[in-house]
Amino acid sequence: MQGIHPTAIVDPEAKLADDVQVGPFCVIEGDVEIGSGCVLREHVVIRRYTTMGRRNLVDAFCCFGGEPQDVKFDPSTVSHVRIGDDNLFREGCTISRATGAGNTTVVGNRTFWMTGAHAGHEAVVEDEAVFVNGSAVGGHGTVGRRAFLSSHVVIHQYCWVGEGVMTQGNAGISTHVPPYTMLAGINCLVGLNIVGMRRADDVSDDDRRQVKEVFDLTYRKGLTPTKALEAMDAREDLGAPATKFREFLRSVLSARPPYKRALCPFRPSR
């Protein structure tokens, strides 16, 4: 049985699994789908064109599917938010629906959003990413798998943050940040996320060595990014993590506006 509080407002056209729990004063609009095992605590707003998978916990005052923060947006546009399974959203998180007709803002599985985190229109947030209090990704940005955005980290629109990136609190990003790196301050890589790679069950000791090698080709050998990519392409032994680093670099070099942005520079701490 659905547990819908009598003060909640649920549009009759919304599709909720039988066991969804909806707390006091929630609002669920039409054209919404919510999967089995989801719990919405008090004052949650799920706006139209939002799809949510299974076993998501949504804490108080979250709003998903709100109109994008884009002055050019036409409210009659049909665009979407798609949220996967097993995500945890704490108080006051917001996820905007896409700004382009038929487009989608995407959240994967097993992500963790702390208080006041935000994803803008057409953002893509991959599995197991963590948003600490007040962190945000702008429109069309990407946050890679297992990336960790510390408190109040902000990502500019159209920027990519790769898999396994660790950020310092209050950092700012307006460039593309390659996988398995650490970022501090404004667009300042300070090294590799060695601890994160050690904790990852799909990154071996040899993988870590290879990631260090491709990182060094990119940042420590005095090569241009193009020459570094050529050196990586000459190797046939790269495992999956180093290959992800290489393909991220390839994507940055081949990007076209508005995604054509610099690779985040390396400024090691002294």
- Which 3 state secondary structure label does DSSP give 145? coil
Contact predicate 169/163, CB 8 Å:
no
In terms of DSSP H, where are the helices of the chain? 194-199, 205-219, 225-233, 240-254
Bridge partners, 16 (sequence order): 34
What is the 3-state secondary structure of 179-240?
CCEEEECECEEEEECHHHHHHCCCCCHHHHHHHHHHHHHHHCCCCCHHHHHHHHHCCCCCCH
Mean pLDDT estimate for the chain: 97
Contact predicate 158/261, CB 8 Å:
yes
Contact predicate 150/97, CB 8 Å:
no
pLDDT at 1: 46
> What is the rounded average pLDDT of the residues 111-116?
98
> What is the rounded average pLDDT of the residues 156-163?
98
In the numeric block, the tokens 């896409």 are attached to 98
Instruction: Summarize pLDDT for 63-75 with one digit per residue, the tens.
Output: 999 999 999 999 9
Task: Report the predicted TM-score, pTM, of the whole model to 2 decimal places.
Answer: 0.95
Kind of pairing, strands 9-10 and 33-34?
A: unpaired
Query: Could you tell me the pLDDT band of residue 2, with boundaries at 50, 70 and 90?
Result: low
What does the alpha-carbon distance between residue 55 and residue 65 come to, in Å, rounded to a whole number? 18
In the numeric block, the tokens 């400024």 are attached to 267
Give the chain's domains with CATH numbers. 3-143 (2.160.10.10), 203-254 (no CATH)
What does the alpha-carbon distance between residue 136 and residue 88 come to, in Å, rounded to a whole number? 16
Query: Could you tell me the pLDDT band of residue 41, with boundaries at 50, 70 and 90?
Result: very high
Query: Could you tell me the pLDDT band of residue 268, with boundaries at 50, 70 and 90?
Result: confident
Residue 37's CB: how many other CB atoms inside 10 A? Answer: 16
Instruction: Summarize pLDDT for 9-40 with one digit per residue, the tens.
Output: 999 999 999 999 999 999 999 999 999 999 99
> What is the rounded average pLDDT of the residues 102-128?
98
Contact predicate 68/50, CB 8 Å:
no
